[in-house]
Structure 1
């Protein structure tokens, strides 16, 4: 558990004080089945075997539980259990199917994020449903959001936005998906830069040569750094390692990412490994794109580039 009990209680206390109906316009069973398998969880009532029967008895037949019972219901363990269940619960609370009032949703998102950000999490809009936002949880993995936002805003495509959201939100939930998407993100940034600079290239180019070509066109090859620049040798080493990072991302994706089938005995990497790959991919992608934007005003329709 990385989201502390204190933060969870702060959110729950707010919901209780403001008397927020956690299930929205759904009944308890329909809402909770969007998150949990109620027929596999145990009952807290000795007369029943499963949570489904328990909840049905006390919220439909008798309706004798307090309205906020869900926060303390032991089988869900929302206050001390998995981050995934707690975050899914919050996301479902503000789902368009559950809650119709857009202003209330905006209010709740603000409250949730105010508390979650101190724990390194936030709820972000990932898709829309009938013109209404659908939210998912994203872990803040240390890349300056405003810088990454520049990339997504300038490229301004749903595909890039989906890549960014997917690799950030799935670090903890699906590391293999995050790793595969991290490689795709760098590929997308490089190809976008080359396309905008009117540079021809082989669409089937592997990631490492693609990054090398992009660095070359941006004047980011080690030999392009003047010896008069302070710490020139260190800068050269950093820039030359971009291609190494690209190669590592490609090699990591092959056995662990989403681009290849897996055997029945496959065991994926841990979230910390995926976080390392995503951090590296975003660092490379953001730096390349920032450099491209800085030099955009001097671009000409040729393969000749201004050197750093």
Structure 2
């Protein structure tokens, strides 16, 4: 997600609202926007020019996965709801952004009510970052694996992408287990057993009598994905002697499958925590 200096220069004007027809953001609005991405700024006396502030923050996050999140927030239709002056339409603004970021191999595409960023070379995965705190080791681990998956598929290293897809899921499951069970065993490379333990910690055992048949099928399907990723990695990735050479669509399947598992497990953990159903083992 590396943005060129030229893109950053003009994108900063769009973010701050200095480009004609764009929603205007005051200094406090800009601080609030960028603090969502791990910054800890405070709007106070001596605050720099709004455009300069936006430009500096864009430089700081350039090259990170959260650039996609920033671009999505930039074209959030809710920014147009309380406009104090006549603005360009969201579609017109999206077209302006696309004219700019196409040179960075990115584009904004309409997805329901929102615009989302994807790579022009082919969308590999659209990631919803589960946490935005840069200090959160889980987020860092996941972002690193996502970067590796994307870079390796783009460069044609499909074996490596499959390895990283499995590593993404394994890192995620290990992090959840350690949080909920301090006495959990050290990872032994058996991802199927790891998933089974984490599934129990998150109250996702398909054998529960209070779970509907439809959900049981989904949970059984997730177990199959875990087993498939582990087997696919053993047979096709660069971690072992390769018995079958994977193609691009194989690698994309592995990465998208890993994304599905990651999204569901994180959403489940957040939901269970909010409902007070998770009790870490002592």
The bucket for the TM-score relative to the shorter chain is 0.5 to 0.7
For 2:239 and 2:142, the matched residues in 1 are separated by 17
Give the aligned partner of residue 163 of structure 1: 145
- The aligned runs of 1:164-203 (5 Å cut-off) are 164-172=146-154, 173-199=156-182, 200-203=184-187
For 1:201 and 1:138, the matched residues in 2 are separated by 41
Give the aligned partner of residue 269 of structure 2: 292
Of 226, 236, 240, 2:216 maps to: 236
Pair 1:117-2:100 in alignment: no
Q: CA deviation at 1:151?
A: 5.0
Of 250, 258, 261, 1:273 maps to: 250
Of 236, 252, 260, 2:232 maps to: 252
Deviation string, structure 1 residues 95-147 (Cα, Å, up to 9, x no partner): xxxxxxx77x969x96225873258743xxxxxxxxxxxxxx9852354x3x2
Q: CA deviation at 1:224?
A: 2.6
For 1:151 and 1:176, the matched residues in 2 are separated by 28
- The aligned runs of 1:35-184 (5 Å cut-off) are 111-113=100-102, 116-117=106-107, 121-122=118-119, 139-143=122-126, 145=127, 147=128, 149-150=129-130, 153=133, 154-156=136-138, 158-172=140-154, 173-184=156-167
Alpha carbons of structure 1 residues 138 and 290: separation in structure 2 relative to 1, 3 Å: farther
For 2:121 and 2:139, the matched residues in 1 are separated by 20
Runs (4+) of structure 1 exceeding 3 A deviation are 118-122, 151-159
Pair 1:208-2:192 in alignment: yes
Alpha carbons of structure 1 residues 156 and 301: separation in structure 2 relative to 1, 3 Å: closer
Q: CA deviation at 1:255?
A: 2.3
For 1:189 and 1:152, the matched residues in 2 are separated by 15
Contact 1:254 1:260 in 2 (8 A): yes
* RMSD between superposed Cα atoms in Å: 3.4
Contact 2:222 2:261 in 1 (8 A): yes
Q: CA deviation at 1:160?
A: 2.8
Residue ranges of structure 2 left out of the alignment (5+ in a row): 1-5, 11-54, 68-96, 110-116
SS at match of 1:222: coil
For 2:138 and 2:279, the matched residues in 1 are separated by 22
Alpha carbons of structure 1 residues 214 and 272: separation in structure 2 relative to 1, 3 Å: same
Alpha carbons of structure 1 residues 188 and 139: separation in structure 2 relative to 1, 3 Å: farther
Pair 1:219-2:242 in alignment: no
Alpha carbons of structure 1 residues 270 and 217: separation in structure 2 relative to 1, 3 Å: same
Q: CA deviation at 1:281?
A: 0.9
Contact 1:197 1:302 in 2 (8 A): yes
Q: CA deviation at 1:169?
A: 3.0
